[in-house]
Chains A and B, each alone.
Chain A
Amino acid sequence: MSINVYEKRYLITVSVLVGLMLTLIVGSFVLLNIYPPSNSGETIDSTRLHLSEEFAESNLGARTNPDGTVTVRLVMAKYLVHPQEFTIPADVQVTFRIATPDVVHGLNVPGTNINTMVVPGYVSQVRTQVVFPEVAKHGIRNPDGSVTVPLFCNEYCGYGHQSMWARVTVKPIR
């Protein structure tokens, strides 16, 4: 079997390019800790979600932890995001913890990498920081300088899917 000399050079070029892209991906995973939201150990009984302490209604929304980081707990259920509005700071570590009592939903905030599937049986978790200028491009500016962006359900969950969204207000750090 013989390979034409141009084809050989081309194949080497393609392989180097693929190698470079993979180096960037693996490098940002290993060195910068950037990876898709995985939470493989944490199962939850979605049919009894209302009886769990963490996802009881009074415990939902954004909470500031003693170390200054923020945890947001949400329940996504046909066809509402609970709670409907909450506020988070920019440039601070925010952890989203989300569960559903019914079907598969998704959650996405434009201008951020907050994006995860929300599946029955598991708690979804996203840990990230919101970059204010990026989120400001997609939101509505408020008089106090904060920005309100929509949070969409981004997986089809039934006839009311298009109505399933919430508002996130992001406060810049001064």
Chain B
Amino acid sequence: MTTNIAPAPSGRLVLAHVWVAFLLFGVALLLGVYQVLARDGVLGSHAASYYASTTLHGVVMGYALTIFFITGIGYAISERALGTRVWAPGLAWLCFWVMLAGTVLAALSILAGKASVLYTFYPPQMAHWSFYVGAALLVAGSIGWIVITLVMSAQWKGAHRGQNLPLAQFGMSICALVWAWTMVGVVLEVLLQLIPLAFGLTQSIDVNLARALFAWTLHPIVYFWLIPTYVFLYTIVPEEAGGYLFSDEMARVAFVMLLIFGLPIGMHHLYMDPPHSAGFKLLQGIGTFLVVIPTMLTGFTVWASLEISGRLRGGTGLFGWMRRLKWDDPVVLAGVMALFMLILGGFGGLVNAAYAQNAMVHNTQWVTAHFHYIFGGVAVTGYFGLAYYFWPRLTGRALWAPKLALAQIWLWIIGMNILSLPWHYVGLLGMPRRIAYYAYAPEIAAQWLPWTGIMIIGGVLLCLSGWLLLLILFLSGRTLPASSATMAGGFARPYEATAVLPRSLNGFALWNWLLLALMAMAWGYPIVQFFLVKQYPALPWGFS
């Protein structure tokens, strides 16, 4: 039965964010195809275009796609989980335009060739001021979403004393808190060091302070990217699969652990940096391994939830229930595949995190391959699932060609593996990351070429998949109205009724204080040392 049902109240707000995210994503995928071709030598040697392209690809994927998608879909999740409208929609729209202006400014500066500093923008390599101002506006806009999400949680808790904050909103509040804590490092770097230098207000820069502040951000930003996908896995996939969430409490425990263990560990990006002592590196290295626990916990809970659904649908045997999963539902497929990629990506992450062993892979192509698994394979696959789940609920119209959506997800996962498996391997062969072409001894480069050739196929498949997503979403706005059943589906219910939670698991205050102590321990001295011991600042190098 199809009836006209009013779409979600803030549908336009959410759709605006998600469309910007995915259109930028489409552009960044085209750049990715250019990059695999260029690196393999198919297009000759154009270093300047390669580095501009890599910068735009990284900035769009890592900052723009994520911030626009997460804030947009975050509003949708909060509204649906709490049953209220987005708090202060005017503020949300204002922030959207600020973010968009920032993105356009930064993108123009990169396209003009004035900001080929890559998405890590390590000084004293300096971009044009418009790049930093653009990036700052993009991040500033996202603060609105943090405030809105936390205010909505607080208001709901005020109105529902003694009740548990719905898990989906709990997860998104953790995501907002992770992002708030995460951005502090890079915001300090950009506002206090890079922008003054870019405007000529200062003449030199403490590079190692800047690197420490950036590393503060560089690791936990991954959990900002991942948590919406985890929320999807915990609260949407089990329901869509026709089952229950295995454990509501353990899901909250995992989110809290991601917040407090995920933040104070960014120094594993500085394992190979001389200014930091081996002891602080070890401390944050141990912290990095502790994040394995909530990650593995997520794997268990989601997998167990899927097993419940498989068995409810008549599956039997130790593995036989897997055949009964809803493989023909793009939302479920995206969930299963994101989990599968988490296993592959997590393995590579353990290697990177393994302290002294990091010397074998640091800054080789292994690292880029690893974060493409985690980012593209896990986080973005979850974003596809979220988009397919929310699209009918946002537009009031059925998903166009759900079978094609299945193909889109398979294409993405197959493409990601064809791209990233050889990519890991050339990393082990010693191929450095971020090189436009190989000017090295031909005998050495010859070892790499067959593998970089295979990567082209992966890159093309990924690009096709991304554009297929755009096509499906675009045409979905023009199909039949969604069925009332589609519109109604809520978030997953726990398998066993959840008891009233201890206050600590229904709020965030305790965890914020604990995190403050951990951050002071992990980063206090490593940052303060640059003010205690005389440092020699570096002179800027620009693009002109």
Residues of A within 8 A of B (CB): 1-4, 6-7, 10-11, 14-15, 17-18, 21-22, 25-26, 28-29, 34-47, 78, 102-104, 106, 108-111, 113-117, 119-125, 138-140, 148, 150, 152-163, 165, 167
Report the separation of the CA atoms of residues A6 and B357 in the bound assembly, to the nearest whole angstrom.
33
- The answer to whether the Cβ of B10 comes within 8 Å of any Cβ in the partner chain is no
Report the separation of the CA atoms of residues A28 and B282 in the bound assembly, to the nearest whole angstrom.
12
Given A40-B275, A108-B363, A156-B434: A34 in contact with B116 (beta carbons within 8 A): no
B433: chain A residues at CB < 8 Å are 154
Partner of A162, one of B356, B438, B539: B438
Q: Is the CB of B536 within 8 A of A154?
A: no
Q: Is the CB of B362 within 8 A of A108?
A: yes
Q: Is the CB of A116 within 8 A of B274?
A: yes
- The answer to whether the Cβ of B196 comes within 8 Å of any Cβ in the partner chain is no
Q: Is the CB of A115 within 8 A of B116?
A: no
Given A2-B499, A121-B535: A18 in contact with B436 (beta carbons within 8 A): no
A42: chain B residues at CB < 8 Å are 274
Q: Is the CB of A156 within 8 A of B118?
A: yes
Q: Is the CB of B272 within 8 A of A117?
A: yes
Q: Is the CB of A4 within 8 A of B207?
A: no
Binds A, one of B178-186, B224-232, B285-293, B477-485: B285-293
Within the complex, the shortest CB–CB distance from B60 to chain A, in Å, comes to 17
B356: chain A residues at CB < 8 Å are 25, 28-29, 34-36, 113
* B439-469 with Cβ < 8 A to chain A: 439-441, 443-444
Q: Is the CB of B274 within 8 A of A156?
A: no
Q: 0/1 per residue, B288-303, Cβ < 8 Å to A?
A: 0110110011001100
A-B contact pairs, 19 of them (CB 8 A): A4-B247, A7-B301, A14-B293, A14-B296, A21-B289, A21-B350, A25-B355, A36-B278, A38-B276, A38-B281, A46-B538, A104-B207, A108-B362, A111-B430, A120-B124, A150-B430, A152-B432, A159-B48, A159-B51
Given A21-B350, A104-B207: A15 in contact with B541 (beta carbons within 8 A): no
B48: chain A residues at CB < 8 Å are 159
B281: chain A residues at CB < 8 Å are 35-36, 38
Partner of B274, one of A21, A108, A122: A122
- The answer to whether the Cβ of B529 comes within 8 Å of any Cβ in the partner chain is yes
**Closest residue of chain A to B500, judged by CB?**
A1
Given A10-B300, A111-B430: A140 in contact with B443 (beta carbons within 8 A): yes
Q: Is the CB of B429 within 8 A of A138?
A: yes
- The answer to whether the Cβ of B537 comes within 8 Å of any Cβ in the partner chain is yes
Q: 0/1 per residue, B384-421, Cβ < 8 Å to A?
A: 00000000000000000000000000000000000000
> A36, A43, A155, A157: which has the most chain B beta carbons within 10 Å?
A36
**Closest residue of chain B to A98, judged by CB?**
B274
- The answer to whether the Cβ of B90 comes within 8 Å of any Cβ in the partner chain is no
Q: Is the CB of A40 within 8 A of B208?
A: no
Q: Is the CB of A36 within 8 A of B358?
A: yes
- The answer to whether the Cβ of B47 comes within 8 Å of any Cβ in the partner chain is yes
- The answer to whether the Cβ of B108 comes within 8 Å of any Cβ in the partner chain is no
Q: Is the CB of B207 within 8 A of A121?
A: yes
Q: Is the CB of A35 within 8 A of B282?
A: yes
**Closest residue of chain A to B538, judged by CB?**
A120
Partner of A122, one of B271, B275, B439, B443: B275
